[in-house]
Chains A and B, each alone.
Chain A
Amino acid sequence: QKEVEQNSGPLSVPEGAIASLNCTYSDRGSQSFFWYRQYSGKSPELIMFIYSNGDKEDGRFTAQLNKASQYVSLLIRDSQPSDSATYLCAAYFGNEKLTFGTGTRLTIIP
C-alpha cells in the first residue's frame, strides 16, 4: 500500500514564527509532491509543488524535498493567523492517482 503520512496535529505556532510541516511517503519512485491548504468547510487549494531534491521557495512558503529519506516538508515563514488551516501533503505514485495524507491542522496563535 503506497502511503503518505502526516502528523495530524494540531500544531500551534505563534504569529510571526516559522511553521514547519512534515510528510513522509512510502514509494521511493515518487516524482511529484504537492502541498494543499484547506480551510474549514472549503476545498483544498494548491500552494506548492516540488519535483526535485532541495528547496523551492514561493513568497513565505518553502517546500523541501529529500528523496533519499523520503520526506517532504513545508515551511511557512512569518506565520499569520490567516495561515491557520489544515495542510495536506500529496504524492503521485506512478499512475494517474494522487495520494493524499490525512493532513496536519495548523493554528497560528496571535
Chain B
Amino acid sequence: SQTIHQWPATLVQPVGSPLSLECTVEGTSNPNLYWYRQAAGRGLQLLFYSVGIGQISSEVPQNLSASRPQDRQFILSSKKLLLSDSGFYLCAWSVIWGQPQHFGDGTRLSIL
C-alpha cells in the first residue's frame, strides 16, 4: 500500500532563517505531488505541484520554492522566512489527474 511521509511535524523558526521541508511517498511510481499551506482557520492554498522529476508548477508568487530531485521526493524550501510564512504545510500525492489526493500528516510552522 502507498504511504506518505512528511517531516518534521512541528517547526519553530526565526524570521529570515532558511527552510527545508521534505515529503516522500512509498508504494507508487511517478505520483503527482503537491504542497499546500493552510493558515489558521482558513482553506487549503496550493503552493506547488509536480507531475514528474524536475517538473515544478508554482501557483502563488512568494519566497518559497519547491524541488523534486527524485521520483517520490518533494522538497519545499525558502532562503529567508517571513512572518507570513507561518501555517500548516501539507504534502499530498495522487496517482494521476482526476484521482483522489492523499495527504501527509503535515508540518506546523511557526515563525518568530
Contact = CB atoms under 8 A, between A and B. Distances in A.
A37 B6 CA distance: 19
Nearest to A45: B103
B61 interface: no
A32 B98 contact: yes
Interface stretch (B12-20, B44-52, B63-71, B73-81): B44-52
A17 interface: no
B11 to A, nearest CB: 15
B24 to A, nearest CB: 15
B101 A102 contact: no
Contact of A98 (B42, B101, B104): B101
B90 A31 contact: no
Contact of B106 (A34, A43, A92): A43
A43 B57 CA distance: 22
Contacts of B51: 96
The A interface is mostly helix, strand or loop, or mixed, namely loop
Contacts of B44: 44, 88, 100
B104 A102 contact: no
A95 interface: yes
Interface residues of B, number: 23
A43 B5 CA distance: 12
A87 to B, nearest CB: 12
A10 B13 CA distance: 33
A97 B68 CA distance: 17
Interface of A: 31-32, 34, 41-46, 49, 88, 90, 92, 95-98, 100-103
21 contacts: A32-B98, A32-B99, A41-B108, A42-B106, A43-B105, A43-B106, A44-B44, A45-B103, A46-B100, A46-B101, A46-B102, A49-B100, A88-B43, A92-B97, A92-B98, A95-B97, A96-B49, A96-B51, A97-B59, A100-B44, A101-B43
Lowest 10 A-B CB distances belong to which pairs? A102-B43, A43-B103, A100-B44, A43-B106, A32-B98, A96-B97, A46-B100, A44-B103, A49-B100, A92-B98
